Structure 1
Amino acid sequence: MKKNYMLYLFLLPAVSLVFIFNYIPMYGVLIAFQDFSVTRGIFGSGWVGLDHFRSFLTSPNFFQIFSNTIKLSVYGLIIGFPVPVLLALMLNQVRRSKIKKNIQLIIYAPHFISTVVIAGMIFIFLSPAGPVNALITQFTGNPISFMSNPDYFRSIFIISGIWQGAGFSSIVYVAALSNADPQLHDAATIDGASLLQRTWHIDIQVLKPVMAVLFILAIGGIMGVGFEKAYLLQTDMNIPASEIIDTYVYKRGLLSGDWSFGAAVGLFNTVIGLILLVTANGIIKKLNGETLY
C-alpha cells in the first residue's frame, strides 16, 4: 500500500461513496421488523418481528404481484439477453469504420432517452388515435386499446426495454470481440469455414466469459424489473399485469405511509435477488467455469 498509495487515493472517493450511500443506510432495514413511527424514530419504535412479512405473503394480491415481477423479468431476460450479443456479432462484420460508427450511434441513442420520455412516446404511438392504430385500422377497421388491456402490457414493456437498452448493452460485447485474434479467422477461412462456423467457433468462444458474468448479474437483478417505466405505463385498466413489487412498495410504503410494511416487502425482494445471484453464480461456475466472484 505504501508503494502504490497514489492508486489507493484514486480509489478512496469511490469506496467512500459506496460506503456512505450503500452501507451506512443499511441500518434502515430495521424498520421492516418494527411498527415504525416517524416521531419515535428507528430506535424508539416497537418491534413486531416478522409480522409485516407474514402480512405480505398472506395478502390476497401477493401471488399476482410476485408473478408479474417474475414474468416481466424472466421473459425480458430470455428475449432480451441474446439481442446485444447478436448486435455485437453483426457490428463486428461491418468492415468500414465510418458506416460502423454511424450504426453504433443510431443503436446507442435510445439508451440516453429519459424513461419518462419513453413512456410518453409509447402512450402516443399506441393511443387509439396514434400511428400504430392508424395502420391497424387500415386493415381491421378497429383500433386496439393497447394501454388499457393487460394482455399487451408485458409485450410493450419488454419490447420497449430491448429497443432502449440493447444497443448500449452491446458495447461490452463489441469490446470483447476486439480481442479476437484475426489470424484465427484467416486460418478458418483458408480451411473453408463459413461465416456461421467462424462466428460460432471463434467469436462466440471469445464472448462466453463476458456472457457468463453478465448473465449472472442479470439473474441477480431479476427482481428489479424497473420501477420507473412500470409505474409510468400503469393505467387503471392494466394494473392486473403491471403491478410489480417495486410499484407496490412505492404505493403502500410511501403514498400510504406504511413505512415498515414497505421496507419489509423491499427487503423480501432484495433477499430473493441475492439468493438468485448466488445460485446462478454457483450453477454457471460448475457448467462453464466462469464466475462472478
Structure 2
Amino acid sequence: MDNIISSYSGGEEKALSSAIEETVGRNVPARLERPAKSLLTRMWKMRFIYLLLLPGIAYFVIYKYVPMVGLMIAFQDYSAFTGIWHSDWVGFAHFKEIFNDPNIVQILFNTLYLSLLQLLFAFPVGILMALMLNELRSQSYKRSIQSIVYLPHFVSWIVVIGLVNTFLSEKGIVNSVLGLLHLPQSNLLTNPHWFMPLILLEGVWKETGWGTIIFLAALSGINNELYEAAVVDGANRMRLMWHVTLPALRGTIAILLILQLGHVLDTGIEQIMLMINALTKDVGTTLDYYVYVKGILNADFSFSAAFGLFKSLIGLVLILGANRLVKKFGEEGAF
C-alpha cells in the first residue's frame, strides 16, 4: 500500500490516504468499535434462561456438593458425640484398613462378577428391546407394549423380592407345582449358585423397559431416507437393522456404556440386602452391602465414608479411561 501511495505526489497522495483510511474505517465491524459488554450485563439479558436453571443448580449444590463437606470424616476417627469439627484426625488409617481386610478380595470379586454379568447380559437386553419395539408397525400395539415393559420400573424392590419369594421359596408356587408332579424340589433362594443369576434376572425384569427410553429416543431421530435408500439397494429387515439402525445407536450406546462403567462398583444395596441370607452370604456380599454392614450396623461411619470415597475415585478413573477409549474409536464420548 505504501508503494501505491508513494506513486502519487503532493495533494494526490494525501487525498488517497484519506480515502483509504475512510474506507477501512467504514469496514471495521461495529462490534469491534464498541467495548465488550460485561459478563453481568449479558447474564441480565438472559436472566430468564438462568432462572430456569436455578432449580437444577440448587439440586446439585444442596444434594451433591454441600454433603461433600462430610467427606472429612474419612480422614477422622469420627464420633457422633464430638461432631465433625472436633473429631480426631487419623489420616489414611481407614484406607489402610480397607486393604488389610482379609475378606476384601472375595467381596471385590463378587462385586466385579455381578457388574460384569450386568454389562454382558443386562445392558444389551435394553438395546434388543428397543430394536424390537422399533420394528413394530402398529403404533397402538407399540405403545401398549411400551407401557407394559415400563411398569416394573415403578415397583419397589420390596415388592419384587416378595414376588420372588412367593414363587421360589421352599413352600412357594414353583415347589408346590413340582411336588404335585412328583418332581424333585429345590429352594433356589438358599442355593449359592443361583444367587447371582437371580439378582441378574430380577434387574433385567425390573429395569429393561425403562432403559429402552433413551434408545427409542435415539431411534426416532433416524432419517427415513436412509431406510428408503437401503430398501432400494435390496436390503431386507435384518440388513436395515444391522446397517442403518445399529450404527445410528452407536453413539448413544457408547455414552451409556461410559456411564455404566462409572458405576461398576455400585451394585445397589436394596436388592442385595433383601435377597442375601446366611447360606448365600459368601457369594452375595458386595461392596455396597459390606459398607452397609460396617458403616450402619457397626456404626463405623468413618470407614464407610473412606470406602465411598475410594469407590468414587475408581469410578472417576474408569469414566475418564472409557471416554478416552471411545473417542479413539471415532465417537464423541460423554465429554
Task: Tell me the secondary structure at the aligned position of residue 84 of structure 2.
Answer: coil
Matches within 5 A, 1:238-249: 238-249=280-291
Instruction: Tell me the equivalent position of 2:147.
Output: 105
Residues 1:286 and 2:295 aligned together: no
Residues 1:69 and 2:93 aligned together: no
- Deviations along 1:162-197, whole A, 9 cap, x unmatched? 111111110111111111112221221122112111
TM-score by length of 2: 0.84
Counterpart residue type for residue 105 of structure 1: S
- Kept in 1, the 8 Å contact 2:254–2:331? The answer is no
Higher relative contact order structure (alpha carbons within 8 Å, sequence separation ≥ 6): 1
Structure-2 separation of matches of 1:103 and 1:246: 34
Q: CA deviation at 1:289?
A: 2.2
Q: In structure 2, which of residues 169, 174, 186 is the aligned counterpart of residue 127 of structure 1?
A: 169
Structure number with larger C-alpha Rg: 2
Structure-1 separation of matches of 2:181 and 2:194: 19
Instruction: Tell me the equivalent position of 2:98.
Output: 56
Structure-1 separation of matches of 2:182 and 2:192: 21
- Deviations along 1:227-250, whole A, 9 cap, x unmatched? 111111111111111111111111
Task: Tell me the secondary structure at the aligned position of residue 288 of structure 1.
Answer: coil
Instruction: Tell me the equivalent position of 1:144.
Output: 186
- Deviations along 1:6-32, whole A, 9 cap, x unmatched? 011010111012101110110111111
Give the 4+ runs in structure 1 shifted more than 4 A.
135-140
- Kept in 1, the 8 Å contact 2:115–2:267? The answer is yes
Matches within 5 A, 1:36-47: 36-47=78-89
Relative to structure 1, the CA distance from residue 140 to residue 205 in structure 2 (aligned partners, 3 Å threshold; closer, same or farther) is: farther
Structure-2 separation of matches of 1:134 and 1:275: 49
Residues 1:223 and 2:265 aligned together: yes
Q: CA deviation at 1:139?
A: 6.7
Structure-2 separation of matches of 1:85 and 1:4: 39
- Deviations along 1:46-65, whole A, 9 cap, x unmatched? 11111111112111111111
Unpaired segments ≥5 residues, structure 1? none
Task: Tell me the secondary structure at the aligned position of residue 65 of structure 2.
Answer: helix
Task: Tell me the secondary structure at the aligned position of residue 278 of structure 1.
Answer: helix
Relative to structure 1, the CA distance from residue 34 to residue 140 in structure 2 (aligned partners, 3 Å threshold; closer, same or farther) is: farther
Task: Tell me the secondary structure at the aligned position of residue 105 of structure 1.
Answer: helix
Residues 1:257 and 2:299 aligned together: yes
Structure-1 separation of matches of 2:241 and 2:180: 42
Counterpart residue type for residue 68 of structure 2: M
Q: CA deviation at 1:136?
A: 4.7
Unpaired segments ≥5 residues, structure 2? 1-42
Instruction: Tell me the equivalent position of 1:203.
Output: 245
Counterpart residue type for residue 252 of structure 2: V
Higher mean C-alpha deviation, range 184-193 or range 28-37: 184-193
Task: Tell me the secondary structure at the aligned position of residue 144 of structure 1.
Answer: coil
Higher mean C-alpha deviation, range 136-145 or range 108-117: 136-145
Structure-1 separation of matches of 2:210 and 2:149: 7
How many residues of Structure 1 are paired with residues of Structure 2 in the alignment?
Answer: 293
Q: CA deviation at 1:135?
A: 4.7
Structure-1 separation of matches of 2:229 and 2:323: 35
Relative to structure 1, the CA distance from residue 139 to residue 264 in structure 2 (aligned partners, 3 Å threshold; closer, same or farther) is: farther
Counterpart residue type for residue 244 of structure 2: I
Instruction: Tell me the equivalent position of 2:72.
Output: 30
Instruction: Tell me the equivalent position of 2:48.
Output: 6
Structure-1 separation of matches of 2:45 and 2:213: 35
Q: Considering only aligned residues, what root-mean-square deviation do their CA atoms show, in Å?
A: 1.4
TM-score by length of 1: 0.96
Relative to structure 1, the CA distance from residue 105 to residue 147 in structure 2 (aligned partners, 3 Å threshold; closer, same or farther) is: same
